[in-house]
Amino acid sequence: MGTSQVLFDQVVSRGCGLDVHKKVVTATIDGEGVKKQTRDYPTITSSLKELRDWLLGNGITHVAMESTGVFWKPVYNVLEPAGLTVWIVNAAHIKYVPGHKTDKKDSAWICKLLLAGLLKPSYIPPKEQRELRDLTRYRTKLIQGNASNKNRIMRQLEDANIKLSSMLSSTSGVVATKLINKLCDGKEVTMQDVEEVYHKKIGASKEDIYEACQGFITEHHIYMIGIHRQEIAHSEQTIANLNGRIREILQPYDNVLELLKKVPGISSKSVEDLVAEIGLDMSVFPSEKNLASWAGMCPGNNESAGKKKAEEPPREINR
C-alpha cells in the first residue's frame, strides 16, 4: 500500500521553518523557485548571520519558529532587522505527528505549515518595550526578594523570642529599625529607648513594646539579621537605579502615564509595569479579549464530551 502525501494550497511564496535549540538551529527553506534544503547552524552570532545571509540569498520572505524558552530571541534579533517577516508561533499549534521525530522533520513541518498559511504568529512587542519590560520585571523580582528578606528577619527575631512583629505593623519601619539596631549592637532595650521612638499612632503600649524586646538574642541572630539587612540595602539601591532608568525611558509618554495614574487604585509603579507589559498601542489587539488572553489573564477553554474542565490562567508566560 503506497504512502499518501498531504498537500496544502500555498499562501506564502517563499518561507523557512526553524527548529531552535540551545546550541543549534535547523532551518528548512521551500517555496516557489526555491529548491527545498535543510541546514544546521550553531547559535553563535556569526553563524546566525550566515543563516540570515542564506535566507536573503534565496529570496526568503517569511520565517517561522517555535517560542522555545529564550532561545528564539537571539535568532529573532538577527533576522528581524534584516527585513524578514519573522513569526514566533505557539509550540502547541505546530505539534508534529508522533513517531520518527527529528529536528530536520520538525523544521520541514514548520516550513510546510508556514507556506500553507496555517500558522498564527504571536504578537512580539517592539524592542523598546521589550527592554523596558526587562527593567520592570527585574525590579519586581528585587522587591519580592526584599519582602523575603524581611520575612527572614522576622523569623530570626521570633527565634530569639523578640516579639516586635506582634506589636508593630512592620519590622522595617522607623520604630522597629531603631529598636533592632539597638539589639544588633549587643545592647538591651530600655524603657527610655522605647519612649524615645514611641508615638501615638502605635497601637501597642510602651510597656508591651518594652516586653516584646526582652528576648534571648545571640551573636548568631545578630549576624544573620545583619546579612539580611545588607541584602535589603543593596537591593533598594539597585531598585532606585532601576526607577531612574525606567522613568528616563518613559519620559516621552508622561502625558499618557498621568492619565493612567488617575485610575483609582493604580500607583506609579503599577502604571509603569502596565505600560511595559502591554505597551501603548492597543491597535495590535483586535479586542479586549485578545489583550487579556495575550497577557495571560484569562483561562483557556478545555471541553470534552460536553464537560468543561477547570483551567487556571498560566502563572508564567513566555512573552
3-state secondary structure of 218: coil
66 — pLDDT class (breaks 50, 70, 90)? confident
Give 287-316 pLDDT, tens digit per residue. Answer: 988 888 877 777 667 766 667 666 655 555
165 — pLDDT class (breaks 50, 70, 90)? confident
Residue 230 covered by a domain: yes
Q: Are residues 199 and 226 in the same domain?
A: yes
Size of the chain, expressed as the number of residues it contains: 319
Which of 19-28, 237-246, 293-302 is predicted with the least confidence, judged by mean pLDDT? 293-302
Residue 194 covered by a domain: yes
Residue 170 covered by a domain: yes
Q: Are residues 241 and 155 in the same domain?
A: yes
Q: What is the pLDDT of residue 177?
A: 86
- Residues in Cβ contact with 186 at an 8 Å cutoff, skipping those fewer than 6 apart: 222
212 — pLDDT class (breaks 50, 70, 90)? confident
Taking residue 45's Cβ as centre, other Cβ atoms within 10 Å add up to 11
Residue 23 covered by a domain: yes
Q: What is the CATH number of the domain that holds 101?
A: 3.30.420.10
How many whole angstroms separate alpha carbon 246 and alpha carbon 239?
Answer: 10
**Residues 96/106, Cβ–Cβ less than 8 Å:** yes
Can you state the angle between helices 268-278 and 219-250, rounded to 10 degrees? 60
Q: What is the pLDDT of residue 154?
A: 87
Residue 197 covered by a domain: yes
Report residue 287 CA to chain centroid gap: 23
Residue 297 covered by a domain: no
Q: Are residues 157 and 191 in the same domain?
A: yes
Domain extent at residue 139? 128-251
Q: What is the pTM of this model?
A: 0.79
Residue 226 covered by a domain: yes
Q: What is the pLDDT of residue 53?
A: 96
132 — pLDDT class (breaks 50, 70, 90)? very high
Q: Are residues 102 and 205 in the same domain?
A: no
For residue 93, pLDDT beyond 80? no
Q: What is the pLDDT of residue 1?
A: 47
How many whole angstroms separate alpha carbon 264 and alpha carbon 282?
Answer: 21
15: which 3 cell numbers? 518561507
Q: Are residues 178 and 111 in the same domain?
A: no
Q: CA of 27: how far to CAs of 22, 85, 265, in Å?
A: 14, 15, 49
Q: What is the pLDDT of residue 185?
A: 81
Overall number of domains in the chain: 2
Residue 168 covered by a domain: yes
Kindly state the average pLDDT of the residues 78-92.
90
Q: Are residues 245 and 163 in the same domain?
A: yes
Q: Are residues 108 and 39 in the same domain?
A: yes
Give 33-47 pLDDT, tens digit per residue. Answer: 999 999 999 999 999
